[in-house]
Chain A
Amino acid sequence: MSKLTLNGRTVCFAEGETLLDIASRQGLEIPTLCHDPRLEPAGACRSCLVEVDGERLMTPACARVAQAGMVVMTENERIDRHRQTLMALYMTDHPHEREVSEVGSPDLLLDMAAEFDAPMDWGWMEPMRGDREDRNPYVDFNPDTCIACARCVRYCEEVEGVSAITLAGRGSHTTISTVEEKSLLDTTCELCGGCIDVCPTGAMNEKLPLMRGQKPERELVKVRSTCNFCGVGCQFDLNVDLEGRDGKGQIVKVTSPPPGTTTNDGNLCVKGRFAYDFVHHNDRLTQPLVRGEDGVLYPTTWEDALERAAEGLLGVVERHGADALGFVSSSRCTMEENFLVQKMARALFRANHVHQCAAT
């Protein structure tokens, strides 16, 4: 274990750790925008600069690998001044109003500017990043709030592994595009939505909530749950508008937990991130139904439906024995529900004919 001095205290670190890794472990907060623990450091946004003794220039904590004996400061006047200046510069072509910049996902740049009390009056240039039409159903890109930190591009390449999006243009025209400006639908994009999730300024957004005029993410309540599609069991946050559906709550979007805290490491696939519309779909069954003498299904009360169901199942057993009754349980349902179904088959009917679909 090597040692270095961090804000006056001696701390140990493992080989290969960055200054940011060490500082975070010590509970020190260093602002970051382009950093993501799943990605190779890029050192692009300059928000994480810290001071190393004996070096004239400040250095990005996210990219700088620690060396034994380093003396590092993460807080002092010079660093404060740098942060203020940096934010003030960002603010010269970044919308200042939340209503404009934060239509969906949060804009951390605005938070940071406020936190460091950055001057907002260093002039204004109309943002010049190019936009492109895209008929893809899920990912919206707003060039005006993009800071070209390339976190989305790097995520797409390094984690998703498909390199569907790229940086295009130069200088203040730099923007996020695709090869030949195609729609994401016609690229290698797998619609994982990771680019939305990693974007620090909300430039990448979910399209549907925007089109539907739903509340921005900050006004939603997050409920941590488990994806109901495949066997990976990704953890995600259902973002709920509590006032939606007449107070029954409406899922507006799905977001990832922070990387490193769940088995999916903050990643989701297209189904987990986007396929939640079925929850509130009009086709949902909302009433118990029983088949009438005429062969048609009629709505009825719970009491009646349960009565009929019980009678029917018991009737089968009476006529043909318990061996004639099969219980099909579901891998879509919870552990608890599966437990109850098998207990029902076994304890009530003394038979073991219980299984689920696709027992693979």
Chain B
Amino acid sequence: MAGLVETFGAGAMTNSIGEIRDADFLFVIGSNTSEAHPIIAMEMKRAVRKGATLVVADPRAIWMTSIAKKHLQLNPGTDVWLLNAMAHVIVAEDLINREFIENQTENFKQVKEAVASYTPEKAEQITGISADDIRWTARQYATTEKAGIYYTLGITEHAHGTDNVYALANLVLMTGHLGKPSTGMNPLRGQNNVQGANDAGATPMFFPGYQRVDDPEVRVKYEKSWGVPLSPVPGLNLNEMMKTVGEQMRGFFVMGEDIVLSEPNVLELEKGLNNVDFIVMQDAFMNETARFADVILPAAVFAEKEGTFTNSERRIQRVRKAVEPPGEALPDWEILVMLANKMGANWSYKDPAEVYAEMVKDVPQFAGISHEKLEKIDAGEEGIAGLQWPCPDADHPGTKFLHEDGILRGKGLFMPVHYIPPAELPDEDYGLFLSTGRTLYHYNAATQTRRESGLDAKQSEAFVELHPSDARKRGVHHGDMVEVTTRRGSVQLRAILSRQVRPGCIWMPLHFAEARANVLTNDVGDAVTGTAEYKVCAAEVRLVESMPDNEAFFPGSYYYEKGPGLHVDD
């Protein structure tokens, strides 16, 4: 979320989930909301039932497009073109919020100049969306008071993900859709506690609370607090660490993640891991990373420990222990304390509440939050459970939407961005655009969900969605076994003929170990966040084996044949 910290001064949803139902215009871009965030989708459905206008920008037809006023089915990776063209329209038609721009932002002129050449007509050629639709969307967005933007990985999992965020933020700033309920800019987090992990400082650039490690004042504060000298040099992000595995990186401590199943370009990564001296892995389950681990520490899962998660809307909520862990497994925090002490630390935390208290002590935005206070709120009758940061002191009720009394950064920063084509485009050898994503029924590496018989019944097999016209060219029929190949590797899985994808594009879920999407994906990382380009790369599909006549294949995707919403002939 570096992009948002940069422009607004806080990297989180500006608004609350509960405000979505009152929005009048919802711009959903790069988010398969009903599958990745079903509860947010419910709120959006509620808004649409009440008359809100929903516009979905996504290369793929998704459930949400079936209730959308418009589906902007853009060519993969052309988001910046679309967004800059919208900004172009807003500027050209003078729909900007002058007062807001003058008082609350800086750098508008640069963006104005940057988008001057992004005319809707040119955008139509590149994005595939008609100039009229771009104009209409820009006008609706700019002129609706309660207009909110919602986006997820679809926007950030690109080599230029941060650019996409800037381009969106420019729209928000030029229209002044900020600091009010049901508007703003809302990144929907993929994993339960991504927000919390970032907030807590598990990032190479920031101490807890987005305080930069290279800011001398901050460093001095933490040196005092922790009583040791600290490094002023930002560390490597995960993408960089993975690329130097076995070279610069010679040892790893890996907690609760399967890097081998989740990181892109995994075949290269595995070569590197063989050259690593030592890996400690701490997890609840065996996973692919375990093949390289020297020590494996058995960890408790969420239901077996105390603590907090922070959700996408900055809400800190309690995790409570319901059952005992199996065997000798222990909560991660207990293991961390023991391990640190073995390595010379002198940590004496007796429970997660104490750890939390230490964390907030040095972060002004979190200072008013404590386990104790959360307990009190949860036990009370009034309001919604949990507490949203900023919450600077013990009497503060938390913050529903950000930037109400002016933008937290001081001035909102306009950032001009220009379109750079995706790092890899389809060519003669690899004629298709591959994107990857999540489905409703599984979760990331699926170590949890695939151990669930029911979810497996609904969606048990890996699949790739292929447009009927592309399938015909390759002699592929619905249910056939195919091989998907990219410059990095290949996997075999079943083909679904689907009009959810555009001609020339294919899509596959990233959850299945037998057809690991990350064998295929590109590890070119975003220059700022290091988030890899999971979303688009060039690929080719080849028939391996036809599906026997007597077999049926139900991929658990109800809309696969036709695709929801508008049905285009191939």
| Chain A residues close to B by CB (< 8 Å) | 136-138, 158-161, 185-188, 190-192, 208, 223-235, 238, 240, 245, 248-251, 257, 261-265, 267-271, 274-281, 283-291, 297, 302, 305-310, 312-317, 319-320, 323-348, 350-360
Contact = CB atoms under 8 A, between A and B. Distances in A.
B202 A231 contact: no
B199 interface: yes
B95 interface: no
Given A336-B356, A358-B194, A359-B530, A279 B342 contact: no
Nearest to A323: B248
A340 B355 contact: yes
B257 A328 contact: yes
Contacts of A240: 322-323
Contacts of A283: 285-286, 451
Most chain A CB within a 10 A radius of its CB, from B16, B193, B198, B286: B193
A303 to B, nearest CB: 9
Interface stretch (B305-313, B402-410, B412-420, B481-489): B305-313
Contacts of A249: 322-324
B238 to A, nearest CB: 4
B202 A338 contact: yes
A142 to B, nearest CB: 19
Interface string B283-311: 11110001001111111011111011111
Contacts of A337: 255, 307, 331-333, 336
Contact of B191 (A161, A226, A358): A358
Given A267-B39, A327-B255, 9 more contacts: A160-B42, A250-B323, A271-B441, A287-B328, A290-B295, A328-B253, A328-B255, A340-B347, A348-B345
Interface residues on B, range: 35 or more
B536 to A, nearest CB: 15
Contacts of B293: 291, 297
B340 to A, nearest CB: 5
Nearest to B327: A286
B57 to A, nearest CB: 18
B340 A344 contact: yes
B359 interface: yes
A233 B444 CA distance: 16
B302 to A, nearest CB: 4
A335 B304 contact: no
Given A263-B18, A332-B256, A336-B359, A291 B294 contact: yes
B448 interface: yes
Interface stretch (B74-82, B125-133, B227-235, B543-551): B227-235
A16 to B, nearest CB: 13
Contacts of A138: 454
Given A232-B311, A262-B385, A333-B193, A208 B454 contact: yes
Nearest to B529: A359
Nearest to B321: A223
B195 A231 contact: yes
B359 A286 contact: no
A222 B283 CA distance: 26
Contacts, number: 488
Contact of A347 (B241, B329, B345): B345
A275 B385 contact: no
Nearest to B285: A283
Given A228-B301, A332-B256, A161 B42 contact: yes
B193 A334 contact: yes
Contact of B250 (A231, A325, A332): A325
B281 to A, nearest CB: 9
B315 to A, nearest CB: 6
A271 B35 CA distance: 11
Interface stretch (B104-112, B139-147, B150-158, B491-499): B150-158
A277 B448 CA distance: 8
Given A328-B254, A352-B213, A274 B454 contact: yes
B457 A231 contact: no
Interface in B178-227: 187-205, 207-208, 213, 222, 226
B338 interface: yes
Contacts of B258: 357
B452 interface: yes
16 contacts: A137-B458, A230-B443, A233-B192, A261-B385, A286-B326, A288-B296, A297-B296, A309-B295, A310-B342, A314-B343, A326-B252, A329-B197, A336-B308, A341-B202, A344-B339, A358-B194
Contact of A231 (B192, B285, B302, B342): B192
Contacts of A287: 298, 327-328
B531 A332 contact: no
Interface centre among B16, B305, B530, B558 (most CB of A within 10 A): B558
B399 to A, nearest CB: 14
A360 B193 contact: no
A341 to B, nearest CB: 6
B46 interface: yes
B26 interface: no
A274 B531 CA distance: 31
Contact of B42 (A159, A335, A344): A159
Q: Which of B202, B208, B241, B531 has the most CB of A within 10 A?
A: B202
B359 A357 contact: no
B440 interface: yes
Task: Give the top 8 A-B pairs by smallest Cβ distance, nearest first.
Answer: A286-B327, A231-B189, A233-B311, A334-B307, A352-B235, A316-B251, A330-B256, A137-B454
A278 B192 contact: no
A225 B296 contact: no
